[in-house]
Structure 1
Amino acid sequence: MASLFTFAIIAILILIAPYVSKITKIPVVVVEIILGALGYYFGIFKHSEGFDVVAEVGFLFLMFLCGMEVDLRGFRQLGKDFLKKAGVYFVVLYVVATSAVLILKLPPIYIAAFPVMSLGMIMALIKDYGKNMPWLDLALKIGIIGELVSIAVLVIINGSYSYGLTFELYKTLAVLLAFLLVIIGMFQIGKILFWWFPNLKLFIMPYNDENNQDIRFSMMLFFGLIVIVMWLHLEIVLGAFLAGMIVATFFPYKHELVHKLNDIGFGFFVPLFFIHVGSTLDLSLVFHTPSLFFHGAMIVVGMILLRLFSATIAFRSYFKSAKNTVLFALSDSMPLTFLVATAALGLQLGAMDQNTYYAFLLAAIFEGVIFTILIKVVYYFWKVRI
């Protein structure tokens, strides 16, 4: 009964979050984190095993939806020139991040945290500004690649902290490589199979579907791949993300499926995850420890400077405008989902202490609020001379 009461309270918070977001102009994700923190602080709801499990499912479902933004066939259309520039961007990003961490003697987890990327806030920006903006179109393409890189880095970090530089780490990396090669092979087999038997797609996901077969197949794929990567002792995010990629690549004709799954995810599971994240923030400790705000602010400054530097080197000739470069860097500096995930993984592995975890959560909130405001200011008030 206690768990049901908790879910009832959470459902109310999920309901009011969009209204608060509209009134305050704060991103709904940030509002959900704040509501979760306030709700737990004032004792409106408490943690339970059921709440924790559903929140985990919510996070994985968000990764599944992010995977659905990746249509592998679209990568062929990006062109070699773009891929070279993207490669330069990521190399500079990780080299500078690694150098900064070594010079400042920060924990190694920062190497994964500073360059981390996520599509969540980029998708929200696309709803506001449209996909035709060059800086936002590039942010989406880079975000897709960056999310894949971030997942791979999280897997490596997980293995490094779990096993150290031992045979087990190399075994984990070998398993990861073998698993990815198997997935690539299955993609190729799938292409051939669906080319020879085009009706097989329609059998799996028919056009006129009265029994929601598309949802059923997607959920089977979602949980099936998660179980497989768990069995292989890999990061479970990988399974959820790959499941989304498979659906997007092989069943692009099911346009309504994306809307259905988005409604399920962003209507309940994803907001519940962010409320759960907020509830892990100890507000009494935060308010009595001002240094956490400074630490969070420094993380934000580090992330934006890193992206401004990398974007200037890689995409200066691509944009031909400092305004678009700044807008791209700002839109690429709000990896709320993966920043929270990296912090949670770091805390779980003992790679960071509780205070550092709180600083990362505060950084995620700061980024969501400050950078969305800065994007509006730059977009509307920075006049480019022609």
Structure 2
Amino acid sequence: MHSPIETLSAFSIFALLILFASPISSLTRIPIVVVEMILGALSAHFFTFIKDIEEVSIVAEVGFLFLMFLCGLEVDIKSFLKLGNSFLLRALGYFCTLYALTCIVVFSFGISYIYIAAFPVMSLGMIVALIKDYGKEQPWLDLALKIGILGELVSIGALVIIDGASRHGVGSQLGQKLLILVLFLVFVICGFRVAKVLFWWMPKLRFLFLPRDDSNSQDLRFVFFLLFSFVLLMMILDIKAVLGAFLAGCILSTFFKHKQALPEQLNHFGFGFLVPFFFIHVGSTLDLNALFKDTQILLHASYLILGMLTLRLVSASIVFGSYFKSAKSTLLFALSDSMPLTFLIATATLGKGIGELNDTLYASFLLGAILEGIIFSIIIKLVYVLWTPKKDK
């Protein structure tokens, strides 16, 4: 049991690190998420007591759920329905190829089945950061964004399945949990359709929850009600809470577009404290003493990074080679798709929680997430600037 002074000291340290992360990122040109994780590792090395404070872990968990909510906020279900069958079939082909190759690698080398989720895992965080630097009009980056959004959904599904398999085994109980998940998703889809008709029939209904003229912060009150309601529902159904947070964000972005300033407000709120708090906490779980003493951590991190990039590069060449018609664009797409910081960390957390990852492998996952953000960002810059495709004569 820690004293109130220690608890407040831990939160003060985290707040100080959050404050300095942004200027350090600007000076070093290292992604801010990576900076936050490094600062977290350094803080835990010098202030060891922050690792064991339960209140810090709770706030970090809320930060992770809010991050997944913000990821869902990037998804507009209506816009995805307009992408057409051609794109959706090609995307399905990409995911099938990626997961099939992953299964071949995992079973051939006899490694933990957590890698079935880890190698293909996707996240929007770094893709959104790349869009700020290169612009969404880049074909490889536009495709990476669309695939990344679908990939997050697939990744969440994979994590749910692996979590269920670890707790219930491959049998009737797992089948029951998957059936509950499928029925819930069907219920959500039906709910989307009903809501679409309801809001079309009674358009003023949406303003009851999120009024245009809002002097009482009703929008934020509704947001947190929506978020925690879906998280609670997932916990009752014994499904990963992250899915509830993601779906809550999808609902808000799809049906409440009239609050155009709300996503920006939520991003400021989330990335101002809760999200960086989560990443600093993740960094604090990394043991620097073990990192410098155990060469296996760096070795496994290298295998993870190389495996993720190779599998994506092969899959992209097979499925999107004719779409890009350029090895440069294919490589840039594979690189931009290979930096799933948040979801790779989530996979590592799950793997350690279910006993599939020991301390060495867990540290290698965190190190791999950090190195991917740094190395692949630099390679993308070099390829984008220096590689000039030869023009046909």
Please give the TM-score of this superposition, normalised by the length of structure 1.
0.99
Counterparts of 1:124 and 1:44, CA distance in 2: 32
Counterparts of 1:275 and 1:360, CA distance in 2: 15
Give 1:209 deviation, angstroms: 1.2
Q: Tell me, yes or no, if the aligned pair for 1:101 and 1:107 is still in contact at 8 Å.
A: yes
Q: Tell me, yes or no, if the aligned pair for 1:9 and 1:45 is still in contact at 8 Å.
A: no
Which amino acid is the alignment partner of residue 374 of structure 1? Answer: I
Give the match for residue 34 of structure 1. 38
Query: SS at the partner of 1:138?
Result: helix
Give the match for residue 295 of structure 1. 300
Q: Tell me, yes or no, if the aligned pair for 2:122 and 2:340 is still in contact at 8 Å.
A: yes
Counterparts of 2:18 and 2:261, CA distance in 1: 24
Counterparts of 2:72 and 2:244, CA distance in 1: 10
Which amino acid is the alignment partner of residue 211 of structure 1? Answer: N
Give 1:147 deviation, angstroms: 0.2
Give the match for residue 184 of structure 1. 189
Query: SS at the partner of 2:82?
Result: helix
* Poorly superposed stretches of 4+, deviation over 6 Å: none
Give the match for residue 207 of structure 2. 202
Q: Tell me, yes or no, if the aligned pair for 2:127 and 2:336 is still in contact at 8 Å.
A: yes
Q: Which moved more, 1:239-248 or 1:1-10?
A: 1-10
Q: Tell me, yes or no, if the aligned pair for 1:116 and 1:146 is still in contact at 8 Å.
A: yes
Q: Deviations over 1:133-157 (max 9, x none)?
A: 1111100000000000000010000
Q: Deviations over 1:312-343 (max 9, x none)?
A: 11111111111111111000000000000001
Q: Tell me, yes or no, if the aligned pair for 2:296 and 2:360 is still in contact at 8 Å.
A: no
Please give the residue correspondences for 1:43-192 in structure 2 after superposition, counting only pairs within 5 Å. 43=47, 46-47=50-51, 48-192=53-197
Give the match for residue 237 of structure 2. 232
Q: Which moved more, 1:49-58 or 1:37-46?
A: 37-46
Which amino acid is the alignment partner of residue 311 of structure 2? Answer: L
Counterparts of 1:183 and 1:200, CA distance in 2: 19
Which of residues 9, 27, 37 in structure 2 aligns to 1:5?
A: 9
Give 1:37 deviation, angstroms: 0.2
Which amino acid is the alignment partner of residue 107 of structure 1? Answer: S
Aligned pairs, number: 386
Which amino acid is the alignment partner of residue 121 of structure 1? Answer: M
Query: SS at the partner of 2:10?
Result: helix
Please give the residue correspondences for 1:264-279 in structure 2 after superposition, counting only pairs within 5 Å. 264-279=269-284
Counterparts of 1:381 and 1:255, CA distance in 2: 39
Counterparts of 1:77 and 1:192, CA distance in 2: 18
Question: Which structure 1 residue ranges, 5 or more long, are not aligned?
Answer: none
Give 1:166 deviation, angstroms: 2.5
| Two-structure CA RMSD over aligned residues (Å) | 0.9
Counterparts of 1:319 and 1:203, CA distance in 2: 46
Cα distance change on mapping 1:20 and 1:44 into 2, 3 Å = farther
The yes-or-no answer on 1:370 pairing with 2:375 is yes
Which of residues 4, 12, 22 in structure 1 aligns to 2:26?
A: 22
Q: Deviations over 1:349-369 (max 9, x none)?
A: 111211111111111011010
Q: Deviations over 1:170-200 (max 9, x none)?
A: 1111110111111111111101110110001
Q: Percent identity?
A: 54
Give 1:253 deviation, angstroms: 2.0
Which amino acid is the alignment partner of residue 57 of structure 2? Answer: D
Query: SS at the partner of 1:293?
Result: helix
Question: Which structure 2 residue ranges, 5 or more long, are not aligned?
Answer: none
Q: Deviations over 1:234-263 (max 9, x none)?
A: 011000000000000101121100001000
Counterparts of 1:21 and 1:44, CA distance in 2: 24
Counterparts of 1:369 and 1:162, CA distance in 2: 35
Which amino acid is the alignment partner of residue 148 of structure 1? Answer: L
Which amino acid is the alignment partner of residue 331 of structure 2? Answer: V
